[in-house]
């Protein structure tokens, strides 16, 4: 494939030290690399660290005998774009499940609830690279989405499914006037906001792979409720349980 490093088999990529075969066919991707380490060490069997390049920790182990990798994506579309592209295109990954946090754009999505991105809207120019004569609206893989929602119901987990606003700007730091930023996306039905799902879904579509973005609501823009920094790393267990149901 065009762009693959000539020495990939022995040295990986400039962004990932894993060698060919070090990464499982499914990768769970939190934004925070420390969250990746926490869940790899506490939930996988035989987890081993396969990359630490740029502090973006990656681990591979097994769950119920099946191989699983967990790797941080970093924040924003450019970071997710690089890591997910390389995983899909070079490491032969077939499924990426984003297990992130999101901001709630409606009071109905409470802190601790799970949100599933059926589709992703964005203010990002990420899809401009495809030269499409319009605006691309990427979606989740339906089979992954259906399985995740089914598992949520089995576990009795409060959840929401729909379109999310995947922004290039952290909504709470936006310089836009009140009512001119995330509020307009909320008016169009986007109940959650993140910064990575749009790029992930675009890469999956371009490369013919499967992706799903799910989030635990960590902050609510309407109510002002939020999790603290430690909880964001360690108290997202229900989301991780749902993601493990997607391991082939």
Q: Is the dihedral of CA 218, 224, 225, 230 positive or negative?
A: positive
The continuous run of DSSP H or E covering 90 comes out as none
Is the separation of the CB atoms in 243 and 28 below 8 Å? yes
CB-based contacts of 82: which residues, under 8 Å, 6+ apart? 15
Q: Which of 108, 219, 228, 237 is catalytic?
A: 219
- SS3 category, 248: coil
Question: Cα–Cα distance between 124 and 194 in angstroms, integer?
Answer: 12
Structure tokens at 178: 């009140």
Distant-in-sequence, close-in-space partners of 236: CB < 8 Å, separation ≥ 6: 30, 35, 99, 101, 216
In angstroms, the first-to-last Cα distance of the chain is: 25
Q: Please tell me the distance from the alpha carbon of residue 139 to that of residue 145, in angstroms, as a whole number.
A: 10
Biggest CA–CA distance in the chain, Å, is: 52
Which 3 state secondary structure label does DSSP give 92? Answer: coil
How many whole angstroms separate alpha carbon 193 and alpha carbon 117?
Answer: 10
Q: What is the three-class DSSP state of 51?
A: strand
219 is catalytic: yes
* 38 touches 80 (CB < 8 A): no
Enzyme catalytic residues: 219
């Amino acid at each position: 494939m065009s762009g693959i490093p000539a020495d990939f088999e022995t040295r990986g990529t400039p962004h990932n030290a894993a060698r060919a075969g070090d990464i499982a066919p499914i990768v769970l991707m939190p934004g925070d690399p420390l969250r990746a380490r926490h869940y790899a060490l506490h939930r996988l069997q035989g987890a081993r660290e396969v990359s630490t390049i740029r502090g973006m920790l990656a681990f591979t182990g097994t769950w119920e005998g099946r191989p699983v990798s967990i790797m941080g994506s970093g924040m924003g579309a450019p970071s997710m774009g690089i890591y997910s592209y390389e995983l899909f295109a070079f490491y032969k990954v077939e499924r990426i499940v984003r297990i992130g946090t999101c901001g709630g754009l409606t009071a109905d999505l409470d802190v601790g609830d799970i949100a599933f991105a059926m589709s992703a809207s964005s203010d990002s120019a990420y899809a401009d690279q495809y030269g499409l004569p319009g605006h691309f609206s990427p979606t989740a893989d339906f089979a992954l989405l259906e399985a995740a929602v089914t598992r949520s119901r089995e576990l009795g987990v409060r959840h929401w499914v729909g379109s999310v606003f995947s922004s290039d700007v952290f909504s709470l730091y936006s310089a836009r006037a009140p009512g001119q930023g995330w509020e307009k996306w909320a008016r169009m039905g986007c109940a959650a906001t993140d910064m990575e799902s749009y790029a992930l879904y675009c890469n999956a579509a371009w490369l013919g792979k499967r992706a799903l973005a799910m989030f635990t609501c960590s902050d609510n823009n309407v109510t002002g409720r939020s999790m603290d920094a430690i909880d964001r790393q360690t108290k997202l267990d229900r989301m991780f349980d749902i993601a493990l149901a997607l391991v082939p």
